Amino acid sequence: MSADDLMVGGRRFRTRADYEAALRDEKKIKSIKTKIDLNNPKQLYELFGEMQSGAYRFESALGNDFDDEIFEKIEELKKQGITAENAGDALKGKKKKKKSNKTANKSSAKKNNNTDGKTAKNVNLKDFDKNMQTQVLLELYKRERNRKIIVVLASIVAVASFAYFGVYYYNSARTSMSYDQLAELKGSDALVSNQEKNTFSIHKEAIQLPDVLDEYKTLYEKNKKLIGWLKIDDTNIDYPVMQTDNNEYYLDHNFNQEHDNNGSLFLDCDCNIYPRSTNLIIYGHHMKSGNMFGNLQQYAKESYGKSHSLIQFDSIYEKATYQVMYVFRSQVYNEDDLVFKYYQFINANSEEEFDSYMREMAAMSLYDTEVTASYGDSLLTLSTCDNSQTDGRFVVVAKRIK
C-alpha cells in the first residue's frame, strides 16, 4: 500500500501503524455515533464524562479531532447555560420552544394574509423622479459595497482560522505513536539491548545508577530522556514522564521528540530520581481536550480527591505509590516576593525546614485529607496551569506510601 493510500477520514497518515490506528479510531467513533445522539445535551454530557474518565481512548489525530469536536459542543452548551445537571430539562424545553415557535409562525402567517384583505403594493423605481432615483441607486450601491467588504473580511478570517486549525492538527498528526501504543511497550523487550551500567556525576563524584526496570527498558531505548511513568486509575492520566536539563523542551515536544502543542509530562530539571530528592515535581499542560493534566483540577472537589487518592509514579528504577495529601491553588511569583513558592521545594535539609513546608501547604489546601508527612518521607507534586488568576497554578501533593 502506497503513502497515498493511507487515508482515513480525509487525513493522510505517514506510516502503516498510524493508518491502522486511525482505522481503529474511525470504527470506534462510528460505534459511538450509532449509540449517542450528539444533538441531545444529556447524552452528550454522558459521553463527555466517559471520555474524560478514560473509557474511550483514541490512538490517532482522527480520534483527537473527535475529542475536540465533543469538547467544543460541551463548551457551546455551557455558554447556553446548559449543564450536566439540567441537560435533561433543557432538551424538553427546546422541544417545547420549537413547538411554540411553529404555532406562532402559523398564526403570524395567517394574520398577515388576512390583514384587511389587502396585499402590499410593489414599489417601482420608475414611480420616483430622476433626482430620487439617483439617491435610491446611490444608497443601494453603498449597501452592496459594504456587503462585499464584510464578505471579504469574513472570508479572510475564515481562511486564517482554518489555517490555524490545519497547522494544529498537522502537528498532532506528526506523532507517530500514541500514548496508548507507548503503554503497550511497557514490559516489552522489542528494543532492549545489552545495557551497560549507567553513571552520572554529582559534585564531580561518579554515581553508579541502578538497572532500569525491565518494564521500561524498551521505552528507555526509544528515548533516554524517559524518567518514569505516571498513572492515576479511572482517569486519562497514564503517561510517560520525561526530564531534560531545562524545563522548556517538553513544553511543546512529545515522547518522540516531535513538536506537539500538548507537550509531555516532565520532571523538574532540578529534581533527582537517584539519589532521590525529597519532593519530585511533575509539570503538565492543562489542555482543553483533557489531555496531559487537563483534568487535574478535578481534585478541587473533595469527593473526587477521596475517590482518586492513590497515584502511581514509577521511576525507571523503582515502582512507587503515593497518597494525595494537599490540594491547593498558587501562582508563579516574582523572585523577590517573600512568599512560599511550592515549585522551589525540592529538598528539605532539616526537619524544621520540612515541617515549615508542610505547614505552608496545609494552610493553602482546599480541604483536609487527614494525610500528613514527616521528615524523611518522599513526596510527589503534580502541577498545571490555573486560569483563575494571573500566572496561576493548580497543585496536588502526595506522600509515598509504598
| Whether 91 contacts 83, CB under 8 Å | no
Q: How, if at all, do strands 321-331 and 379-386 pair?
A: unpaired
Higher pLDDT, 294 or 126: 294
Tell me the per-residue pLDDT of 143-178, one tens digit each, with 9 for 90 and over.
877 887 888 788 787 777 666 555 555 554 444 346
- Going by C-alpha positions, the residue among 19, 76, 272, 64 that lies closest to residue 172 is 64
Q: Residue 310: its pLDDT value, please?
A: 97
Task: State the Cα–Cα distance between residues 333 and 330, nearest whole angstrom.
Answer: 9
Task: State the Cα–Cα distance between residues 22 and 29, nearest whole angstrom.
Answer: 10
Q: Which CATH class is domain 223-400?
A: mainly beta
Task: State the Cα–Cα distance between residues 81 and 151, nearest whole angstrom.
Answer: 31
Query: CA dist 217 to 237, 257, 348, Å?
Result: 21, 18, 31
pLDDT of residue 187 exceeding 90, the answer is: no
Count the Cβ atoms, other than its own, within 10 Å of residue 301.
Answer: 14
Contacts of 58 (CB under 8 A, 6+ apart): 25, 28, 64, 66, 67, 178, 180
pLDDT of residue 194 exceeding 80, the answer is: no
DSSP letters of 324-370? EEEEEEEEPPPTT--S--GGG-S---SHHHHHHHHHHHHHH-SS---
First to last CA, the chain: 50
- Which of the 8 DSSP states describes residue 74? H
| Whether 74 contacts 41, CB under 8 Å | no
Percent of the chain with pLDDT over 90: 43
Higher pLDDT, 70 or 188: 70
Tell me the per-residue pLDDT of 324-353, one tens digit each, with 9 for 90 and over.
999 999 999 998 888 999 999 999 999 999
pLDDT of residue 295 exceeding 80, the answer is: yes
pTM of the predicted model as reported, rounded to 2 decimal places: 0.59
- Going by C-alpha positions, the residue among 54, 59, 36 that lies closest to residue 294 is 54
Task: State the Cα–Cα distance between residues 91 and 294, nearest whole angstrom.
Answer: 28
For the CA atoms of the chain, what is the radius of gyration? 29
Task: State the Cα–Cα distance between residues 338 and 343, nearest whole angstrom.
Answer: 14
Contacts of 69 (CB under 8 A, 6+ apart): none
Reported as type and span, the H/E element at residue 256 is: none
Tell me the per-residue pLDDT of 66-112, one tens digit each, with 9 for 90 and over.
888 888 888 888 888 888 788 777 666 655 555 555 555 555 555 55
The upper half-sphere exposure of residue 164, i.e. CA atoms within 13 Å in the direction of its Cβ, equals 6
Cell of 317: 528504577
| Whether 235 contacts 308, CB under 8 Å | yes
Higher pLDDT, 229 or 335: 229
Q: Residue 265: its pLDDT value, please?
A: 96
pLDDT of residue 204 exceeding 90, the answer is: no
- Tracing cell 406562532 back to the chain, one arrives at 104
| Whether 323 contacts 336, CB under 8 Å | no
Cell of 331: 501562582
pLDDT of residue 122 exceeding 70, the answer is: no
| Whether 322 contacts 398, CB under 8 Å | yes
| Whether 311 contacts 321, CB under 8 Å | yes
Query: What is the pLDDT confidence band of residue 116, given thresholds at 50, 70 and 90?
Result: very low
Count the Cβ atoms, other than its own, within 10 Å of residue 373.
Answer: 22
Q: Residue 42: its pLDDT value, please?
A: 87
Reported as type and span, the H/E element at residue 385 is: strand 379-386
pLDDT of residue 205 exceeding 70, the answer is: no
For the chain, give percent helix, strand, coil, nearest 5.
45, 15, 40
Count the Cβ atoms, other than its own, within 10 Å of residue 374.
Answer: 10
Average pLDDT over residues 240-265: 92
> Bridge partners of 207?
200
